[in-house]
Amino acid sequence: MQPVKTAVFPVGGQGTRFLPATKAVPKEMLPVVDKPLLQYAVDEALAAGIERLVFVTARGKSALEDYFDIARELVDSLQRRGKTAELAVLDDTQLEPGRILYVRQQEPAGLGHAVWCARHVVGREAFAVLLPDELLWSPANPALKEMCAAYDRLGGNIISVLEVPEEHTHRYGIVSPGTVDGLITEVKALVEKPAQGTAPSRLAAIGRYILQPEVMDVLAHGKRGAGGEIQLTDAMAEMIGVQPFHALTFTGTRFDCGDKAGHVMANVALALERDDVGPAVRAWLKTQSL
Ligand code: G1P
Protein backbone atom coordinates (compact mmCIF):
# COMPACT_ATOMS: atom_id res chain seq x y z
CA MET A 1 0.00 0.00 0.00
CA GLN A 2 1.33 3.46 -0.90
CA PRO A 3 1.67 5.61 2.25
CA VAL A 4 -0.78 8.50 2.63
CA LYS A 5 1.17 11.67 1.89
CA THR A 6 -1.42 14.42 1.55
CA ALA A 7 -3.80 15.76 4.19
CA VAL A 8 -6.65 18.20 3.62
CA PHE A 9 -7.70 20.57 6.42
CA PRO A 10 -11.05 22.27 5.83
CA VAL A 11 -10.55 25.61 7.60
CA GLY A 12 -12.99 27.86 5.77
CA GLY A 13 -15.75 27.89 8.42
CA GLN A 14 -16.87 31.22 9.86
CA GLY A 15 -16.79 30.06 13.46
CA THR A 16 -20.02 31.84 14.37
CA ARG A 17 -20.30 29.78 17.57
CA PHE A 18 -17.23 31.59 18.87
CA LEU A 19 -18.32 35.16 18.16
CA PRO A 20 -17.26 37.75 19.12
CA ALA A 21 -13.70 36.25 19.28
CA THR A 22 -13.96 35.00 15.69
CA LYS A 23 -14.88 38.45 14.37
CA ALA A 24 -11.16 39.09 13.92
CA VAL A 25 -9.49 35.72 14.69
CA PRO A 26 -10.18 32.50 12.74
CA LYS A 27 -11.63 29.85 15.08
CA GLU A 28 -8.75 27.52 14.16
CA MET A 29 -6.38 30.04 15.77
CA LEU A 30 -8.12 30.01 19.16
CA PRO A 31 -5.65 28.56 21.64
CA VAL A 32 -5.90 25.39 23.64
CA VAL A 33 -3.53 26.37 26.47
CA ASP A 34 -0.92 28.08 24.27
CA LYS A 35 -1.19 26.40 20.86
CA PRO A 36 -3.81 27.24 18.25
CA LEU A 37 -6.33 24.48 17.70
CA LEU A 38 -5.09 24.00 14.14
CA GLN A 39 -1.55 23.25 15.33
CA TYR A 40 -2.81 20.13 17.16
CA ALA A 41 -4.24 18.73 13.92
CA VAL A 42 -1.08 19.67 12.01
CA ASP A 43 1.09 17.95 14.65
CA GLU A 44 -1.13 14.86 14.35
CA ALA A 45 -0.72 14.84 10.57
CA LEU A 46 3.05 15.25 10.79
CA ALA A 47 3.23 12.41 13.34
CA ALA A 48 1.48 10.22 10.76
CA GLY A 49 4.14 10.99 8.14
CA ILE A 50 2.03 13.40 6.06
CA GLU A 51 4.23 15.35 3.66
CA ARG A 52 1.83 17.80 2.03
CA LEU A 53 -0.78 19.82 3.93
CA VAL A 54 -3.64 21.44 2.04
CA PHE A 55 -5.61 24.13 3.86
CA VAL A 56 -8.99 24.88 2.34
CA THR A 57 -9.45 28.44 3.55
CA ALA A 58 -11.84 31.30 2.88
CA ARG A 59 -11.92 35.09 3.07
CA GLY A 60 -10.75 36.41 6.42
CA LYS A 61 -8.43 33.48 7.12
CA SER A 62 -5.10 35.07 6.22
CA ALA A 63 -3.95 34.76 9.86
CA LEU A 64 -3.49 31.04 9.16
CA GLU A 65 -0.98 31.74 6.40
CA ASP A 66 0.94 34.19 8.59
CA TYR A 67 1.01 31.70 11.45
CA PHE A 68 2.69 28.98 9.35
CA ASP A 69 5.14 31.44 7.81
CA ILE A 70 8.47 32.55 9.29
CA ALA A 71 7.89 35.71 11.36
CA ARG A 72 11.24 37.25 10.42
CA GLU A 73 11.09 40.29 12.75
CA LEU A 74 10.05 38.12 15.70
CA VAL A 75 12.76 35.54 15.03
CA ASP A 76 15.44 38.27 14.71
CA SER A 77 14.33 39.93 17.91
CA LEU A 78 14.27 36.64 19.86
CA GLN A 79 17.72 35.76 18.52
CA ARG A 80 19.12 39.15 19.54
CA ARG A 81 17.79 38.63 23.05
CA GLY A 82 19.07 35.05 23.28
CA LYS A 83 15.54 33.63 23.79
CA THR A 84 16.34 30.09 22.63
CA ALA A 85 13.39 28.37 24.34
CA GLU A 86 10.93 30.73 22.64
CA LEU A 87 12.66 30.18 19.29
CA ALA A 88 12.34 26.40 19.69
CA VAL A 89 8.60 26.76 20.34
CA LEU A 90 8.26 28.28 16.87
CA ASP A 91 9.86 25.26 15.14
CA ASP A 92 6.62 23.33 14.51
CA THR A 93 4.99 26.43 13.02
CA GLN A 94 7.64 26.85 10.33
CA LEU A 95 7.31 24.05 7.85
CA GLU A 96 9.57 23.80 4.83
CA PRO A 97 8.44 26.04 1.95
CA GLY A 98 5.91 24.27 -0.26
CA ARG A 99 4.70 21.76 2.30
CA ILE A 100 1.56 23.76 3.01
CA LEU A 101 -0.71 24.69 0.12
CA TYR A 102 -3.70 26.97 0.33
CA VAL A 103 -6.89 26.62 -1.66
CA ARG A 104 -9.87 28.96 -1.31
CA GLN A 105 -13.39 27.70 -0.79
CA GLN A 106 -15.32 30.54 -2.39
CA GLU A 107 -18.71 29.73 -0.90
CA PRO A 108 -19.77 27.91 2.26
CA ALA A 109 -21.34 24.95 0.41
CA GLY A 110 -20.49 22.23 2.96
CA LEU A 111 -17.69 19.92 4.05
CA GLY A 112 -17.87 17.83 0.87
CA HIS A 113 -17.48 20.95 -1.21
CA ALA A 114 -14.49 22.07 0.88
CA VAL A 115 -12.75 18.73 0.30
CA TRP A 116 -13.57 18.85 -3.43
CA CYS A 117 -11.90 22.29 -3.65
CA ALA A 118 -8.59 20.48 -2.94
CA ARG A 119 -8.98 17.94 -5.77
CA HIS A 120 -6.23 19.28 -8.04
CA VAL A 121 -3.70 19.31 -5.22
CA VAL A 122 -4.71 15.85 -3.98
CA GLY A 123 -4.41 14.28 -7.43
CA ARG A 124 -5.13 10.56 -7.82
CA GLU A 125 -3.74 9.22 -4.54
CA ALA A 126 -5.34 8.24 -1.24
CA PHE A 127 -5.47 11.27 1.06
CA ALA A 128 -6.39 12.18 4.61
CA VAL A 129 -8.90 14.74 5.85
CA LEU A 130 -8.62 16.26 9.34
CA LEU A 131 -11.27 18.50 10.85
CA PRO A 132 -9.30 20.67 13.29
CA ASP A 133 -12.39 21.37 15.44
CA GLU A 134 -12.07 17.81 16.63
CA LEU A 135 -9.10 17.63 18.98
CA LEU A 136 -8.21 13.95 19.18
CA TRP A 137 -5.81 13.78 22.10
CA SER A 138 -3.68 10.68 22.16
CA PRO A 139 0.00 11.65 22.28
CA ALA A 140 1.26 8.04 22.50
CA ASN A 141 -0.90 6.78 19.59
CA PRO A 142 -1.92 9.77 17.44
CA ALA A 143 -5.26 9.11 15.73
CA LEU A 144 -4.18 9.56 12.11
CA LYS A 145 -1.05 7.45 12.65
CA GLU A 146 -3.23 4.59 13.91
CA MET A 147 -5.52 5.04 10.94
CA CYS A 148 -2.55 4.89 8.55
CA ALA A 149 -1.48 1.61 10.17
CA ALA A 150 -5.02 0.24 9.64
CA TYR A 151 -4.97 1.53 6.05
CA ASP A 152 -1.73 -0.33 5.44
CA ARG A 153 -3.53 -3.59 6.29
CA LEU A 154 -6.98 -2.93 4.86
CA GLY A 155 -6.62 -0.36 2.07
CA GLY A 156 -9.74 1.40 0.80
CA ASN A 157 -11.32 4.04 3.00
CA ILE A 158 -10.94 4.38 6.78
CA ILE A 159 -12.78 6.76 9.08
CA SER A 160 -12.26 7.41 12.76
CA VAL A 161 -15.31 6.81 14.96
CA LEU A 162 -16.44 6.94 18.55
CA GLU A 163 -19.65 5.86 20.29
CA VAL A 164 -21.72 8.91 21.20
CA PRO A 165 -24.86 9.05 23.36
CA GLU A 166 -28.04 8.16 21.42
CA GLU A 167 -29.39 11.70 21.90
CA HIS A 168 -26.33 13.18 20.13
CA THR A 169 -26.38 11.01 16.99
CA HIS A 170 -28.27 13.69 15.02
CA ARG A 171 -25.16 15.91 15.12
CA TYR A 172 -22.86 13.50 13.28
CA GLY A 173 -22.22 11.24 10.33
CA ILE A 174 -23.32 7.83 11.67
CA VAL A 175 -22.09 4.38 10.65
CA SER A 176 -24.33 1.43 9.91
CA PRO A 177 -22.01 -1.32 11.19
CA GLY A 178 -21.16 -4.69 9.67
CA THR A 179 -18.59 -7.18 10.99
CA VAL A 180 -16.62 -6.03 14.03
CA ASP A 181 -13.00 -7.10 14.56
CA GLY A 182 -11.57 -5.43 17.67
CA LEU A 183 -11.40 -1.71 16.96
CA ILE A 184 -12.21 -2.18 13.25
CA THR A 185 -15.82 -2.10 12.12
CA GLU A 186 -16.91 -2.77 8.59
CA VAL A 187 -19.00 0.15 7.31
CA LYS A 188 -22.23 -0.99 5.59
CA ALA A 189 -23.75 2.46 5.15
CA LEU A 190 -23.32 6.04 6.35
CA VAL A 191 -25.93 8.62 7.15
CA GLU A 192 -25.31 12.32 7.79
CA LYS A 193 -27.09 13.77 10.81
CA PRO A 194 -29.94 11.23 11.07
CA ALA A 195 -33.19 12.50 12.58
CA GLN A 196 -33.59 11.74 16.32
CA GLY A 197 -34.41 8.10 16.90
CA THR A 198 -33.45 6.93 13.38
CA ALA A 199 -29.66 6.45 13.73
CA PRO A 200 -28.43 2.99 12.62
CA SER A 201 -25.92 2.93 15.53
CA ARG A 202 -24.17 5.24 17.99
CA LEU A 203 -20.87 5.10 16.03
CA ALA A 204 -20.14 8.66 14.94
CA ALA A 205 -17.52 9.99 12.52
CA ILE A 206 -15.18 12.27 14.48
CA GLY A 207 -13.38 14.22 11.83
CA ARG A 208 -10.55 11.99 10.57
CA TYR A 209 -10.72 10.26 7.22
CA ILE A 210 -8.44 8.35 4.85
CA LEU A 211 -10.13 8.36 1.47
CA GLN A 212 -9.56 7.14 -2.04
CA PRO A 213 -9.39 9.80 -4.75
CA GLU A 214 -12.60 8.51 -6.39
CA VAL A 215 -14.54 10.35 -3.67
CA MET A 216 -13.61 13.54 -5.56
CA ASP A 217 -15.43 12.22 -8.64
CA VAL A 218 -18.56 11.66 -6.55
CA LEU A 219 -18.25 15.11 -4.95
CA ALA A 220 -17.94 16.66 -8.42
CA HIS A 221 -21.67 15.94 -8.96
CA GLY A 222 -22.37 18.58 -6.31
CA LYS A 223 -25.35 16.71 -4.90
CA ARG A 224 -26.85 18.53 -1.89
CA GLY A 225 -27.70 16.64 1.28
CA ALA A 226 -28.45 17.44 4.94
CA GLY A 227 -28.83 21.17 5.54
CA GLY A 228 -28.76 21.82 1.76
CA GLU A 229 -24.97 21.33 1.80
CA ILE A 230 -22.65 19.11 -0.25
CA GLN A 231 -21.87 16.48 2.37
CA LEU A 232 -18.68 14.44 2.54
CA THR A 233 -20.68 11.69 4.27
CA ASP A 234 -23.02 11.31 1.26
CA ALA A 235 -20.09 11.03 -1.16
CA MET A 236 -18.38 8.47 1.08
CA ALA A 237 -21.62 6.49 1.29
CA GLU A 238 -21.53 6.04 -2.49
CA MET A 239 -18.11 4.39 -2.25
CA ILE A 240 -19.33 1.66 0.11
CA GLY A 241 -19.58 -1.66 -1.72
CA VAL A 242 -17.38 -0.33 -4.51
CA GLN A 243 -14.26 -0.07 -2.33
CA PRO A 244 -13.37 -1.47 1.12
CA PHE A 245 -14.74 0.83 3.84
CA HIS A 246 -13.87 0.53 7.53
CA ALA A 247 -14.21 2.51 10.73
CA LEU A 248 -11.49 2.55 13.37
CA THR A 249 -12.65 3.28 16.93
CA PHE A 250 -10.56 6.04 18.51
CA THR A 251 -9.21 5.06 21.92
CA GLY A 252 -7.85 8.42 23.12
CA THR A 253 -9.67 11.46 24.46
CA ARG A 254 -11.78 13.48 22.08
CA PHE A 255 -12.67 17.15 22.57
CA ASP A 256 -15.27 18.77 20.36
CA CYS A 257 -13.62 22.17 20.14
CA GLY A 258 -16.27 23.38 17.70
CA ASP A 259 -18.40 23.66 20.83
CA LYS A 260 -17.71 26.21 23.57
CA ALA A 261 -17.96 23.71 26.44
CA GLY A 262 -15.73 21.23 24.57
CA HIS A 263 -13.16 23.94 23.96
CA VAL A 264 -13.07 24.91 27.64
CA MET A 265 -12.78 21.23 28.64
CA ALA A 266 -9.84 20.76 26.25
CA ASN A 267 -8.10 23.75 27.81
CA VAL A 268 -8.59 22.43 31.35
CA ALA A 269 -7.66 18.82 30.53
CA LEU A 270 -4.53 19.69 28.56
CA ALA A 271 -3.46 22.30 31.11
CA LEU A 272 -3.74 19.70 33.89
CA GLU A 273 -1.37 17.40 31.98
CA ARG A 274 1.37 20.01 31.76
CA ASP A 275 4.21 20.49 34.20
CA ASP A 276 4.31 24.27 33.79
CA VAL A 277 0.67 25.28 34.29
CA GLY A 278 -0.84 22.00 35.56
CA PRO A 279 -0.08 22.41 39.31
CA ALA A 280 -1.55 25.93 39.46
CA VAL A 281 -4.71 24.95 37.57
CA ARG A 282 -5.19 21.82 39.71
CA ALA A 283 -4.72 23.77 42.94
CA TRP A 284 -7.25 26.39 41.81
CA LEU A 285 -9.78 23.74 40.71
CA LYS A 286 -9.61 22.20 44.17
CA THR A 287 -10.66 25.51 45.73
CA GLN A 288 -13.81 25.60 43.57
CA SER A 289 -17.07 24.13 44.86
CA LEU A 290 -17.70 21.80 41.92
C1 G1P B 1 -19.02 17.19 10.20
C2 G1P B 1 -19.41 15.98 9.36
C3 G1P B 1 -20.01 14.89 10.24
C4 G1P B 1 -19.03 14.54 11.36
C5 G1P B 1 -18.66 15.80 12.14
C6 G1P B 1 -17.58 15.51 13.16
O7 G1P B 1 -20.18 17.80 10.69
O8 G1P B 1 -20.33 16.40 8.36
O9 G1P B 1 -20.29 13.76 9.47
O10 G1P B 1 -19.60 13.57 12.20
O11 G1P B 1 -18.16 16.83 11.27
O12 G1P B 1 -17.32 16.63 13.94
P13 G1P B 1 -20.20 19.32 11.26
O14 G1P B 1 -19.70 19.24 12.66
O15 G1P B 1 -19.31 20.12 10.38
O16 G1P B 1 -21.63 19.75 11.19
Distance 171 CA to ligand 1 centre (A): 7
129 lines ligand 1 (CB under 6 A): no
Please tell me the total count of domains within the chain: 1
3-state secondary structure the chain: CCCCCEEEEECCCCCHHHCCHHHCCCHHHCEECCEEHHHHHHHHHHHCCCCEEEEEECCCCHHHHHHCCCCHHHHHHHHHCCCHHHHHHCHHHCCCCCCEEEEECCCCCCHHHHHHCCHHHHCCCCEEEECCCEEEECCCCCHHHHHHHHHHHHCCEEEEEEECCHHHHHHCEEEEEEEEECCEEEEEEEEECCCCCCCCCCEEEEEEEEECCHHHHHHCCCCCCHHHCCCHHHHHHCCECCECEEEEECCCEEEECCCHHHHHHHHHHHHHCCCCCHHHHHHHHHHCCC
From 28, 131, 255, the mutation candidate for ligand 1 (largest count of ligand atoms within 8 A of CB) is 131
Residue 193 maps to a domain? yes
131 lines ligand 1 (CB under 6 A): yes
Q: What is the CATH number of the domain that holds 162?
A: 3.90.550.10
Which residue's C-alpha comes closest to atom 5 of ligand 1? Answer: 172
Residue 87 maps to a domain? yes
| Ligand 1 atom with least separation from CA of 256 | 12
> What pTM, to 2 d.p., does this model score?
0.96
206 lines ligand 1 (CB under 6 A): yes
Distance 206 CA to ligand 1 centre (A): 7
Which residue's C-alpha comes closest to atom 10 of ligand 1? Answer: 172
Which residue's C-alpha comes closest to atom 11 of ligand 1? Answer: 207
Residue 244 maps to a domain? yes
Q: What is the pLDDT of residue 169?
A: 97
Residue 129 maps to a domain? yes
Which residue's C-alpha comes closest to atom 1 of ligand 1? Answer: 172
Query: Digits of tens for pLDDT over the chain (290 positions)?
Result: 899 999 999 999 988 999 999 999 999 999 999 999 999 999 999 999 999 999 999 999 999 999 999 999 999 999 999 999 999 999 889 999 999 999 999 999 999 999 999 999 999 999 999 999 999 999 999 999 999 999 999 999 999 999 999 999 999 999 999 999 999 999 999 999 999 999 999 999 999 999 999 999 999 999 999 999 999 999 999 999 999 999 999 999 999 999 999 999 999 999 999 999 999 999 999 999 87
Q: What is the pLDDT of residue 92?
A: 82
164 lines ligand 1 (CB under 6 A): no
Q: What is the pLDDT of residue 265?
A: 98
Q: What is the pLDDT of residue 181?
A: 97
Which residue's C-alpha comes closest to atom 9 of ligand 1? Answer: 173
Residue 1 maps to a domain? no
| Ligand 1 atom with least separation from CA of 206 | 6
Residue 44 maps to a domain? yes
- For residue 276, give its domain range: 6-286
Q: What is the pLDDT of residue 1?
A: 82
